[in-house]
Amino acid sequence: MTFLEHLTPSDETGMIRESAEKWTGGISDSDVRASKGFSSTRWADMAEMGWHGLLADPDHGGLGLGPAALSLLCQAIGRARLPEPFVASSVVCVGTLTSIGQDVTALVDGSTIAAPAGFGLPCDGVSSTITASAGAGGHHLTGTLGICEAGPDTTEFLVATKRAEALYRLPRTTEGLTVRPYGAIDGRPLARLAFDCVVPAEALITSGNAARAAIRRGNALAVSALTADATGTIEKAIDLTTAYIDERNQFGQPLAAFQALRHMVADRLVELEAARSMTDLAAFAAEDAGDAGDPKQLHDRVRARICRAAQTVGQTAIQLHGGMGMTDEMAIGHYFRRLIFLQAMMGQEAGALRDRAATLAADIEMQREVVQ
Amino acid sequence: MRDQGARDFQDERDHIDFLLDDELRAFRRDVRAFLRDAVPQETRDRIDRGYAATKPEIVDFLAKLSAKGWVAPAWPAEYGGPGWTQLQRMVYSTELARNAAPSIPPFGVSMIGPVLYTFGTQAQKDKYLPGILSGEDFWCQGFSEPGSGSDLASLRTKAEDKGDHYLLNGQKIWTSKAQYADRIFLLARTDEAPRKQGGISMFVLDMDTPGIVVKPIISIDMNHSLNEVFFEDVKIPADGLVGERGKGWDYAKFLLGNERTGITNVGRCRRQVERLKRLARADLIPGVDLSKDGAFLRDLARVEADLTALEISEIRILSQGKNGPSAMTGPSVLKLASAQIQQTLAELIVSTLGHYAAGRGAEFIDAFDDLGGLPPDFVDGALNEYLFGRAVSIYGGTNQIQRDILARAALETRP
């Protein structure tokens, strides 16, 4: 598939977008507030629509679609600020497991929920410090992970060991695995994981180059999904803001009559366009992972640009809501916090620029050697 | 060090390549292969360093393009265009800039040409289009006036209907390259109308018509590309009227809307990123290794990410065509983003020069010979681009006008 084809949604992809927009359109802000981080009804609805299996093969009950469709879906999820661990379970875990031929049937039908540990979320590389050693009784996993998108309903973990050497698939009930829950800035559940467990050899689902490839796949899908989610969130934050300043009157006229405010909105539309472009680029890079060379070359730029768009749009949205923007009652603050969560999951602009700067420094050095 | 400044990108397989299909990749290779021979090394070198192409350089290059039928990429085939798609045109204009070719002057090809083949008479098409396509006729644009910049519709230059001719009186300003121009297209008021946009007509005429005086404006880069043009009792033959009398404003909007391809200058920006990497290892600032300067690298990484987003935005917006969702906002978004990137790159380049940013011209380069510290000659020229580059956010609708357009698209309220 070429990038230009990628920009033109297929019929199936178009249908996903339509059904996503229709379904999320029926979810109100108070519905989302009431669900406090997870709604099993919504999770079941998503299963019904086939979304958990978007990336899975048809023989595992999946739709067998790719990142283009996924990207549109995640934009709709961002717009509705749904807290469910769709990216964690249905994108990163299902996508990674599918790439190595693992059974994902239960994840696809929504009866189980998985969380990636040590890769994917955050998506800026492999953050794992978990070590594994094979012994007589099985494999001994040790170490801790500070952040994992796991909630009370998470049933299994996909664990990357350090340097992406291996990938283990563990049930939550694994003895010696401690899950310490805490809440994310945007209200979804997260957890700190501590491993000191001996697991059967079958828990090791892949290792070596195959594990690295599978984890790269998971990260590429995560970059694409998080970027898309951020774009949907940015769109909605801009929509809420323009609606607010069109309606709110001060000095006898709508706030939107003031040029200083109008120009702030205009600049954020430029950010939105950049966000959309990076979303398409990230989806395409995930589509074409085999041929794109080192996707990190693109991912660092994608993460840097989308994070800045998220930050500036979020801040402007709050500013233009004035005092009301500071209240938890208004939806805008919730979108702002979702943007913060997404930036954190992408390593923030600062982290992405640091990574890209290191590559540029190496480039400059290399050219110096060529010249001398 | 001259060869460094002129390094080109002929064989590079970059991230843009990976976004194109095989057909566009092959097209891109053809364009590169052509440019390799068509642009003399000396021209390439000057342009790379930030100088404007000279008229002879432009004439020479346009003649080569003309032989290929590549002068007017956006024109329909029936008027002599190559029949390319939007994306081919984008690849083409990007490659021109990336290979430091002289840019095709927009006034004939992108501005008046499409107006004439869309609204002009057969006689006007026959008279004017061939000279544009051959690159022989240079045009200039008479729109802005001293009292009418962003508020162009308030223009006061007057053309009185005298039967077989119009009598033109008034003044235009910021007329780029008028000193080289053979012809001018302009807006003038022919009638009083209730709306200030009404009563404006568009004309074409020859610059050697009696009564036209061109005076140079030296710009902040100390170069001469801008002019004032004065009209005193200039007789425009009646057949110089374009389309219908009083519809000049519509044609002007059409003309500006046609500038879509090449609006972003991404090719030049990509080349500037490469120049920055070269400058970073030129060690121009004593005791500083920019490849280890975190602040510099971070600035470079940030503008490079911006540029990547702009490159994708251009592909996305152009591939949507004229009825796509970004048709209204696209051009303004691209212009704002691009102005920001171009100006940031020029500023970053100046920042790598250290003390050398103070000097200018060939003597400055030579003078250092005596002092024993000869700077690379590509240091000269960077300031030209930085200084004149301040105009990027002013011409073609200032950043503030672009923001007004975007705000109108996003907000219900009309101030």
pLDDT tens track for B258-297:
765 557 889 999 999 988 998 898 888 888 899 999 999 9
Of B214, B246, B278, which residue sits at a domain end? B246
In a domain, B252, yes or no: no
Same domain for B233 and B290?
no
Among partner residues A291, A354, A368, which is closest to B281 by beta-carbon distance? A368
Of B77, B104, B131, which residue sits at a domain end? B104
More confident residue, B236 or B370: B236
In a domain, B330, yes or no: yes
In a domain, B258, yes or no: no
Mean pLDDT, range B140-163, rounded to an integer: 95
Q: Look at A273 and B4 and tell me if their CB atoms are within 8 Å.
A: no
Same domain for B293 and B406?
yes
Joined together, the tokens standing for residue B223 give 């170069």
Same domain for B280 and B220?
no
In a domain, B387, yes or no: yes
Which residues, 6+ apart, have CB-to-CB distance to A251 below 8 Å? none
Distance (Å, whole) CA B120 – CA B61: 28
Same domain for B222 and B335?
no
Among partner residues A273, A352, A358, which is closest to B313 by beta-carbon distance? A273
Q: Give the angle subtended at the CA of A276 by the CAs of B347 and A5, to the nearest 5°.
A: 115
In a domain, B311, yes or no: yes
Distance (Å, whole) CA B397 – CA B151: 10
Same domain for B59 and B165?
no
Same domain for B179 and B54?
no
Of B104, B131, B166, which residue sits at a domain end? B104
Q: Look at B301 and A245 and tell me if their CB atoms are within 8 Å.
A: no
Judged by DSSP in three states, A131 sits in strand
> For chains A and B, what is the number of CB pairs under 8 angstroms?
165
pLDDT of residue B374: 61
* Through-space distance between the first and last CA atoms of chain B, rounded to whole angstroms: 55
ipTM: 0.94
Give the structural domain span for B183.
139-246
Residue B84: Cβ within 10 Å count: 18
Cβ atoms A148, A101 nearer than 8 A = no
Mean pLDDT, range B100-129, rounded to an integer: 95
Helix ranges (DSSP H) in B195-265: 248-257
Q: Look at B337 and A274 and tell me if their CB atoms are within 8 Å.
A: yes
Calculate what percentage of chain B has a pLDDT beyond 70. 93
More confident residue, B183 or B384: B183
Residue B3 binned pLDDT confidence (cut-offs 50, 70, 90): very low
Joined together, the tokens standing for residue B374 give 């000869």
Cβ atoms B201, B193 nearer than 8 A = no
Same domain for B385 and B348?
yes
In a domain, B109, yes or no: no
Distance (Å, whole) CA B409 – CA A79: 20
Same domain for B196 and B309?
no
Same domain for B293 and B388?
yes
pLDDT greater than 70 at residue B184: yes
Same domain for B205 and B295?
no
Same domain for B184 and B285?
no
Q: Look at B281 and A371 and tell me if their CB atoms are within 8 Å.
A: yes
Give me the tens of pLDDT residue by residue for chain A, a chain 372 residues long: 677 778 888 898 999 999 999 999 999 999 999 999 999 999 999 999 999 999 999 999 999 999 999 999 999 999 999 999 999 999 999 999 999 999 999 999 999 999 999 999 999 877 789 999 998 889 999 999 999 999 999 999 999 999 999 999 999 999 999 999 999 999 999 999 999 999 999 999 999 999 999 999 999 999 999 999 999 999 999 999 999 999 999 999 999 999 999 999 999 999 999 999 999 999 988 985 445 556 777 899 999 999 999 999 999 999 999 999 999 999 999 999 999 999 999 999 999 999 999 999 998 988 776 654
Taking alpha carbons only, the member of B153, B24, B141, B167 closest to residue B84 is B24
Q: Give the angle subtended at the CA of B347 by the CAs of B341 and B351, to the nearest 5°.
A: 140
Mean pLDDT, range B71-92, rounded to an integer: 91
Handedness of CA B15, B16, B17, B22 (dihedral sign): positive
Same domain for B399 and B283?
yes
Q: CATH no. for residue B230?
A: 2.40.110.10
Nearest CA in chain A to B310: A274
pLDDT of residue A371: 55
In a domain, B143, yes or no: yes
Cβ atoms B120, B268 nearer than 8 A = no
Kindly write down the DSSP assignment for every residue of A216-257, as one continuous string.
HHHHHHHHHHHHHHHHHHHHHHHHHHHHHHHH-EETTEEGGG
How far apart are the CA of B29 and the nearest CA of chain A, in angstroms?
A: 17
Joined together, the tokens standing for residue B339 give 């102005």
In a domain, B127, yes or no: no
Please state, in angstroms and as integers, the Cα–Cα distance from residue A157 to each residue in A126, B287, B374, following that order: 15, 51, 62
Q: CATH no. for residue B402?
A: 1.20.140.10
Domains, chain A, in order of start with CATH, read 3-104 (1.10.540.10), 131-208 (2.40.110.10), 210-371 (1.20.140.10)
Residue B157: Cβ within 10 Å count: 22
pLDDT of residue B45: 86
Among partner residues A5, A263, A288, which is closest to B407 by beta-carbon distance? A263
Distance (Å, whole) CA A282 – CA A338: 20
Domain count, chain B: 3
